[in-house]
């Protein structure tokens, strides 16, 4: 399943990450291991609902032909909110998926998880 970037389209042309990128998510899906964000899943869901509301608000501002700078200000706030969620997910990934692989002595899996994090950070910086 593809996740569209903040500037992506419904076609999935701009994606942040997809299963086809060869991620090693199988390790995190093993019995007894959960993705790091699960411990704050409710918080992430709440933040994403707030972000969805912000996006709808921006759309309404455009419909209502609000002042350009006011719309840009709201877009900046939305972007910051998304970046905050992304940083939290990267932090959770490092603290859980990467650390768990290293803790279990699986150097190859730990290196793969670290590369995933590095690649994700690079995509975030470019966006």
Summarised one tens digit per residue, pLDDT across range 40-76 is 889 999 999 999 999 999 999 999 999 999 999 999 9
Residue among 127, 42, 9 at smallest CA distance from 79: 127
pLDDT top residue among 20 and 66: 66
pLDDT top residue among 28 and 58: 58
Query: How far, in Å, CA of 125 to CA of 99, rounded?
Result: 23
pLDDT band at 13 (very low <50, low <70, confident <90, very high): very low
Averaged pLDDT of the chain: 79
Q: Give, for 19, the enclosing helix (H) or strand (E).
A: none
Query: How far, in Å, CA of 49 to CA of 59, rounded?
Result: 15
pLDDT top residue among 3 and 67: 67
Query: How far, in Å, CA of 123 to CA of 4, rounded?
Result: 12
Residue 30 per-residue DSSP state: S
| CATH number belonging to domain 41-126 | 1.20.58.1000
Model pLDDT, residue 105: 86
Residue among 105, 95, 2 at smallest CA distance from 40: 95
Instruction: Answer whether residue 32 shows pLDDT above 80.
Output: no
């Amino acid at each position: 399943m593809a996740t569209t970037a903040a500037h992506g389209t419904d076609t999935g042309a701009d994606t942040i990450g997809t299963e086809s990128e060869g991620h090693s998510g199988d390790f995190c899906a093993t019995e007894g291991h959960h993705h790091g964000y699960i411990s704050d899943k409710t918080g992430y869901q709440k933040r994403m609902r707030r972000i969805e509301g912000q996006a709808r608000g921006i759309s309404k501002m455009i419909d209502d032909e609000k002042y350009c700078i006011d719309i840009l200000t709201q877009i900046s706030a939305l972007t910051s909110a998304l970046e905050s969620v992304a940083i939290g997910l990267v932090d959770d990934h490092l603290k859980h998926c990467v650390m768990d692989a290293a803790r279990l002595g699986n150097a190859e899996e730990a290196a793969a998880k670290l590369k995933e994090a590095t690649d994700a950070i690079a995509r975030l910086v470019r966006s």
